[in-house]
Structure 1
Amino acid sequence: MKKILPFFSYLFHPVFIPLIGTLFYIVLDESYFSFSQLVVLLLQIVIITLFLPVAFFFLLRTFGKIDNIMLSDISQRKIPLLLQTMLFSVLVTKSITLDRFPELHYFFLAGIISSVIAFLLLFIKTKSSIHLIGSSALTVFVIGLSYHNEVNIINTIVFMMVMNGFIASSRLEMKAHTHKELLIGFLVGALPQIGLLYLWL
């Protein structure tokens, strides 16, 4: 089992969370979008939240600013978190706007809040698990979508909760975080999502 656990850190890496959340939104939301609208939406998400961060990762690694994709050192987290905040800000102001995709808009808006909190915590030498920030935010968002659209996906929600446990165990097994850092990450991801739920439920 110990050999399998690190796999969850890569499978549910934070860079994939925006795309996974968007796919859940498309599947569970009652809004009807044309095929072309869905293609444009997914392309925007893939380019801005996946391709650009990966490109910046290789750029930062080339200049020696980061060692690996897990960002284990506190000092290496500031630039990626700032980048994520800026990219999410572009999404919520230019494409994933409140009038077009309200639920998804609040998902990314809460993501901005989580990123800013995680960034500010670095200045008091506190590291939060970005993996748990992403997985807990995604879990709350999917629960909100289920309630909002009156769709029974209890099995999916239970699965996601279990995955939070596996991800946390994975980070412990890889000695990337302490229990405290995992708890902080979970709360930093979940609480902003919970706080904004009342705006779109």
Structure 2
Amino acid sequence: MKTIARLISILFFPFFMPIYGILIFFTFDLFRFYPLEMIRMAFTFVVIFAAFLPMLTIFVLSKLNVIDNIKLNNTSDRILPYSCTILSFMICTILLYRIYMPGFIYKTMFASSIAILICLILNFKWKISSHTTSIGCLFGGLLFASLKMMVFPSVWIYSVLLAAGLISSARLYLHKNTEEQLLGGFVIGSASTLLFPLLSVL
């Protein structure tokens, strides 16, 4: 059972969520009218700036002994990696905007950086689950996209909710987070990517 829980944690590693998210968004009918080259470019930006660079930063900081380990178990270890991740997400937001991606994509990316900032601030007093924050960002982004396009991709929305449940169960089983930390992360993530983009269009 522990092996399954670890596999779930790896499969839904926080930095993989933006990649899953952009792939889900690309299944929307809207992208049938987008040039393939533009889609490839957007995917590349997300892989590099929302996944690869943040993970590389954590690895390098660990090797330089700036942080204790790549798991970021200590409060102080999260400050610099989170800050670099926010910067990387912001760069990704700008690049997605400049290649004319739909608003729900770059706004979800921007709102995700806000969610990370909130977690960074709360980090000084309370640990928040980065796993559920990231899946929450994906869930909120899907809801925002649904409202913008007036569609309801039920399969994806229910699948993301199921994934959130699996992630929470796995993290609890591995004693990595408490129920409050998991719920707090999901609420912060989903509220950020749903409410911040919505407020920007009101």
Q: Same fold (TM over 0.5)?
A: yes
Structure 1: any 5+ residue segments left out of the alignment? Answer: none
Q: Distance in 1 between matches of 2:9 and 2:93?
A: 27
Query: Where does 1:158-197 land on structure 2 (aligned, <5 Å)?
Result: 158-197=158-197
Does residue 1:140 correspond to 2:140, yes or no?
yes
Which stretch shows the higher mean deviation, 30-39 or 162-171? Answer: 30-39
**Quick check: which one's helix share is greater?**
2
Q: Which residue in the other structure is 1:40 paired with?
A: 41
| Cα contact 2:62–2:70 (8 A) shared by 1 | no
- 1:48–1:87 CA contact under 8 A, matched in 2: yes
- Show CA shifts across 1:143-169 (max 9, x none): 333443344432332221111011011
Q: Structure 1 vs Structure 2: percent identity of aligned residues?
A: 27
Contact 2:17 2:135 in 1 (8 A): yes
Q: Note if contact 1:28-1:151 (Cα within 8 Å) is conserved in structure 2.
A: no
Q: Which amino acid aligns with 2:60?
A: L
Comparing 70-79 with 104-113, greater Cα deviation is found at 70-79
Provide the residue aligned with 2:76 in structure 1: 75
- Confirm or deny: 8 A CA contact 1:28 1:145 kept in the other structure: no
**What are the ranges of 5 or more consecutive residues in structure 2 without an aligned counterpart?**
none
| TM-score, length of structure 2 as denominator length | 0.88
TM-score (norm 1): 0.89
Matched residue pairs, number? 199
String of CA shifts for 1:119-173, please: whole Å, max 9, x gaps: 11122x2110011010011012123334433444323322211110110111111
Residue pair 2:168, 2:182 contacting (<8 A) in 1 also: yes
Q: Which amino acid aligns with 1:70?
A: K
1:22 and 1:69 map into 2 onto residues whose CA distance is 25
Measure, in 2, the Cα distance between the counterparts of 1:121 and 1:154: 32
Paired residues for 1:18-29 under 5 Å: 18-28=18-28
RMSD: 2.1
| Conservation of the 8 A alpha-carbon contact between 2:38 and 2:99 | no
